[in-house]
């Protein structure tokens, strides 16, 4: 942390205002409907002050903290993909003239977002979606422009959530790259401050407009300690050793049937996952039939018609859908994009109604393999 500075709560408030002044739409965590979600922020008053969350398989509850912490919780149901890869967007419009028609490409919405409170796992998730939408064969111009314009104020986690396993996925809890500013929130005795690591020129320009001090050695040490403690709190982990081979070789494992008895095929896991990127398209026309539009919407490999082909679904059973989701996330993602599709954020566990937890399911498959090796 060479270029670190410290700011207090007022400094953080200034940051939100400065970013707004720079033309950014500032978004970050706030409390709505008894959850911490990512929405527009006007000031630090919108942040979930004094809140934390209790998370476990199928469980999410907001709770009061004993302090005034602003980032004292883990990730909620939202992720930043809703801004970079919007849940619904019009792709283009077309108007017919007689037997002919003209296609009108969509104007590129170049809204500049400043994201406040991006966690390390989420920075990794964004880097993973970059590979899908920017760094592969084709480029999604909407994602690309939003991504390039975005300003990242990351936050190092001050506590692990109940379903987190980023340490075992090598994706946190400390933010390593991609940020403009990275904050660590420190609460000691009656002092509440943030150690700010500067990660870019844009970040540096912001800091100059905020009240700040050069960070002292002790402050930096305190901040490092916060992250270290978080890393030690992870309640879950996933052994990823040759996980690709493990899943590819166990496509017919009986455990998939067992999971299918609990899975509701509700698609929650895919909606909350910060890397899931699947979408569908919908064609709409107006009542005159002369105006048509095509919309893109988030889709899920758990939905009924996702694999519809020639009068039927390729993946008709819940078992095959769950297998597809998990095998994609942890195995085939590696073949497709050179990394795991999982960042260990735990959302899919928390928001799964029956609380299916793949950090428990994968070991079941792995253990049975070890078992059968011993037998033979």
Which residue of 60, 152, 193, 277 would you call a contact of other proteins, by CB under 8 A? Answer: 277
Q: Does 113 bind other proteins (CB under 8 A)?
A: no
Q: Does 136 bind other proteins (CB under 8 A)?
A: yes
Q: Does 301 bind other proteins (CB under 8 A)?
A: yes
Question: Is beta strand 25-32 parallel, antiparallel or unpaired with respect to 113-118?
Answer: parallel
Give me the least distance between CB of 107 and other proteins, in Å please: 5
Q: Does 82 bind other proteins (CB under 8 A)?
A: no
Q: Does 110 bind other proteins (CB under 8 A)?
A: yes
Nearer to other proteins, 4 or 303 (CB): 303
Give me 215's structure tokens.
């960070």
Which residue of 60, 73, 113, 133 would you call a contact of other proteins, by CB under 8 A? Answer: 133
Contact 147, 84 (CB under 8 A): yes
Contact 48, 70 (CB under 8 A): yes
The span from the CA of 287 to the CA of 191, in Å, is 62
Give me the least distance between CB of 129 and other proteins, in Å please: 11
Nearer to other proteins, 22 or 145 (CB): 145
Return the axis-axis angle of helices 318-327 and 358-375, rounded to nearest 10°: 90
| Interacting residues with other proteins between 322 and 351 (CB under 8 A) | 324, 328, 331-332, 335-336
Give me the least distance between CB of 26 and other proteins, in Å please: 19
Question: Is beta strand 113-118 parallel, antiparallel or unpaired with respect to 151-156?
Answer: parallel
Which residue of 94, 134, 187, 231 would you call a contact of other proteins, by CB under 8 A? Answer: 94
Chain length of the chain: 376
Give me the least distance between CB of 90 and other proteins, in Å please: 11
Give me the least distance between CB of 266 and other proteins, in Å please: 18
Q: Does 261 bind other proteins (CB under 8 A)?
A: no
The span from the CA of 143 to the CA of 236, in Å, is 32
Buried b (16+ CB within 10 A) or exposed e, 101-137: eeeeeeeeeeebbbbbbbbbbbbbbbbbbbbbbeeee
Give me 99's structure tokens.
């037997």
| Interacting residues with other proteins between 226 and 255 (CB under 8 A) | 248, 251-252
The span from the CA of 188 to the CA of 175, in Å, is 22
Give me the least distance between CB of 247 and other proteins, in Å please: 11
Which residue of 296, 340, 350, 359 would you call a contact of other proteins, by CB under 8 A? Answer: 296
Which residue of 10, 92, 208, 216 would you call a contact of other proteins, by CB under 8 A? Answer: 92
Which three-class secondary structure state does DSSP give residue 215? coil
Q: Does 315 bind other proteins (CB under 8 A)?
A: yes
The span from the CA of 177 to the CA of 283, in Å, is 40
Phi-psi label, residue 255: left if phi above 0, alpha if psi -120 to 50, beta otherwise? alpha
| H helix or E strand, kind and range, residue 292 | strand 291-298
Nearer to other proteins, 92 or 221 (CB): 92
Give me the least distance between CB of 314 and other proteins, in Å please: 6
Which residue of 41, 132, 198, 348 would you call a contact of other proteins, by CB under 8 A? Answer: 132
Q: Does 308 bind other proteins (CB under 8 A)?
A: yes
Q: Does 71 bind other proteins (CB under 8 A)?
A: no
Give the CB-side neighbour count of residue 166, counting CA atoms within 13 A: 30
Q: Which of 153, 183, 120 is nearest to 20 (CA)?
A: 153
Which residue of 25, 35, 86, 96 would you call a contact of other proteins, by CB under 8 A? Answer: 96
Q: Does 141 bind other proteins (CB under 8 A)?
A: yes
Neighbours of 366 (CB within 10 A): 18
Residues in touch with other proteins (CB under 8 A) = 91-92, 94, 96, 99-103, 105-110, 132-133, 136-142, 145, 248, 251-252, 277-281, 283, 285, 289, 292, 294, 296, 299, 301, 305-310, 314-317, 319-320, 324, 328, 331-332, 335-336
């Amino acid at each position: 942390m060479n270029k670190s500075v410290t700011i207090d709560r007022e400094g953080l408030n200034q940051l939100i205002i400065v970013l707004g002044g720079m033309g950014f739409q500032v978004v970050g965590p706030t409390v709505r409907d008894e959850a911490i979600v990512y929405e527009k922020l006007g000031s630090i008053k919108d942040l979930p002050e004094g809140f934390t969350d209790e998370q476990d398989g199928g469980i999410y509850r907001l709770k009061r903290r004993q302090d005034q912490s602003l980032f004292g919780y883990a990730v909620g149901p939202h992720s930043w993909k809703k801004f970079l890869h919007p849940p619904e967007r019009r792709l283009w419009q077309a108007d017919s003239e007689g037997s002919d028609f003209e296609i009108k490409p969509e104007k590129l919405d170049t809204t500049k977002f400043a994201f406040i409170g991006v966690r390390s796992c989420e920075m990794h998730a964004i880097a993973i979606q970059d590979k899908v939408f920017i760094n592969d064969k084709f480029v999604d111009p909407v994602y690309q422009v939003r991504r390039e314009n975005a300003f990242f104020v990351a936050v190092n986690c001050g506590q692990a959530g109940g379903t987190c396993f980023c340490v075992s996925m090598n994706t946190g809890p400390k933010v390593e790259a991609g940020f403009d500013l990275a904050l660590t929130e420190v609460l000691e005795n009656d002092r509440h401050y943030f150690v700010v690591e500067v990660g870019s020129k844009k970040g540096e320009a912001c800091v100059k407009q905020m009240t700040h001090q050069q960070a002292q050695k002790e402050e930096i040490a305190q901040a490092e300690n916060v992250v270290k403690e978080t890393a030690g709190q992870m309640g879950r982990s996933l052994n990823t050793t040759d996980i690709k081979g493990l899943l590819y070789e166990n496509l017919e494992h009986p455990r998939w049937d067992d999971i299918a008895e609990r899975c509701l095929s509700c698609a929650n896991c895919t909606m909350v996952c910060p890397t899931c990127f699947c979408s569908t398209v919908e064609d709409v026309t107006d009542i005159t039939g002369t105006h048509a539009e095509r919309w893109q919407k988030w889709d899920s490999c758990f939905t009924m018609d996702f694999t519809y082909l020639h009068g039927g679904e390729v993946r008709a059973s819940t078992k095959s859908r769950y297998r597809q989701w998990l095998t994609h996330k942890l195995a085939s993602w590696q073949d497709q994009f050179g990394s795991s599709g999982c960042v260990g954020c735990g959302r899919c566990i928390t928001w799964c109604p029956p609380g299916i937890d793949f950090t428990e399911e994968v070991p079941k498959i792995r253990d049975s393999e070890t078992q059968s090796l011993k037998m033979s």
